[in-house]
Structures are given as structure tokens and as C-alpha cells.
Chain A
Amino acid sequence: GDSVTQMEGPVTLSEEAFLTINCTYTATGYPSLFWYVQYPGEGLQLLLKATKADDKGSNKGFEATYRKETTSFHLEKGSVQVSDSAVYFCALSGGSSNTGKLIFGQGTTLQVKP
């Protein structure tokens, strides 16, 4: 079945450092790919998305490119802030099941220190 694998955390960075969180997926068909962010005590917020190969999703300085050849959707940000500290989830929908089910990775915790 479809699945998403993320790099394990926690990821600890200093403010203004470069961020990469790796995400790879397994799916047949042409899934949509997402990054969600979860701040402490809150629900998931959609951060960015890409619906077809080579699309780049971007929001709030974060970006990720849908790479079908490497089945990857890595999240990047050029300069992180303390306020970016949260748990980040990679997800897909519309793969082999095609029901619109969202399948999530296990999450990666990001801690940004001043």
C-alpha cells in the first residue's frame, strides 16, 4: 500500500540556519503531496502542497519540489526562526486507493534555538 517515510527527529538548529527535512513516498498513480505543520497543542495546518511532478509548493519561506524520479518531497527553508519550532508531517493523497485518503509520515520535530 501507499506510505510516507520521513527523516527521524528531533532536528535541532540555530536561528537563521538552513533547514532540510527529508520525505520519500511509495505510491502508484499520481498522488498529491503535502507538508503539514503542528504547533504545540494545536491541530494540523496545511503548509504547502504539490499536485503533480516537478511542481514546487511554497509558503512562509518553506518550499518543497515534487520529484517523481526519486519519489521525494523534501521540505526546505533558507533561514529558520524560533517560531518555526513545531512538528512537520509529510503526507500524500490520491495514490493507489484514489479515495482521497490522506496518508501521513511519522512526523519530524524541529527545535530552533535562539
Chain B
Amino acid sequence: EAGVAQSPRYKIIEKRQSVAFWCNPISGHATLYWYQQILGQGPKLLIQFQNNGVVDDSQLPKDRFSAERLKGVDSTLKIQPAKLEDSAVYLCASSSDRGRVGAFFGQGTRLTVV
């Protein structure tokens, strides 16, 4: 079974630029998560989708971050404009049962904002 795919693996941008990350979840997984992991901290949920509907986006900085999951499969997370404090690893994960028996994570995208 293929795992969660993310791209790109690394991205370096200047502050105030925009960036987009892509995620392809495990086939058949209805729940998709985007997490932000700042160095030395645990992952923090940015947004959770169930199929193509948003379940939780309470910690998403909506003035600069946006995410969509068209057709309930792939998802894109965008930051516009980026700030220095957005430097982090962005992790995508998917689950077949709303996380009850766990979620499976991609390798993440390491974003550096300079």
C-alpha cells in the first residue's frame, strides 16, 4: 500500500513570498490533516478535512494560510505572504477512521523563510 505522498521535500523562500505544498493521502482515507511542526516541538494541527469538508481549522492563521481538498482526495496548503515564523516542517497525514486507530504521515515539507 502506498503511503502519504508530499511535495516538495524542501523549500526556501523569502519573507512575503507565497508557497504551496501538495499532499496525496493513502487511497480510501477520508480524513486528511495538515500539521505544522516547529523545531523542537510537537506537531500542531492546522486543518483537518473529512472528505472535502473542513472539520477543524481553529488553529489555521486564516489571514495568510489557506487549504483545499478538491474531490476529497489530494490537498494543497498555501501560505501567502510568508513570515519568518512560518519556518517549520509541514506534515500531511491521513486516516481511515477519523484518527481512532491512528493516522499515517508523509515525510513532510521543510520550509525555510529567509
Interface residues of A (CB under 8 A from B): 4, 32, 34, 36, 42-46, 49, 51, 89, 91, 93-94, 97, 99-107
Contacts and interface: CB of A to CB of B under 8 A. Distances in A.
Interface stretch (B13-21, B40-48, B64-72, B78-86): B40-48
Nearest to B55: A99
Contacts of B25: none
Contact of A94 (B35, B42, B99): B99
B102 A46 contact: yes
Given A104-B43, A106-B41, A106-B42, A46 B104 contact: yes
Given A93-B98, A99-B56, A100-B95, 18 more contacts: A42-B107, A43-B105, A43-B107, A43-B108, A44-B93, A46-B103, A49-B101, A91-B42, A93-B100, A94-B98, A94-B99, A99-B98, A100-B31, A101-B48, A102-B33, A102-B45, A104-B42, A107-B40
13 contacts: A32-B99, A34-B102, A36-B105, A43-B108, A44-B93, A51-B100, A89-B43, A91-B42, A93-B98, A99-B98, A100-B48, A102-B99, A106-B40
A83 to B, nearest CB: 19
Contacts of B101: 32, 49, 51
B107 A101 contact: no
B107 A100 contact: no
Contact of B100 (A32, A42, A103, A104): A32
A104 B100 CA distance: 14
A45 B103 CA distance: 9
Contacts of B98: 93-94, 99-100
A101 B104 CA distance: 13
B55 A44 contact: no
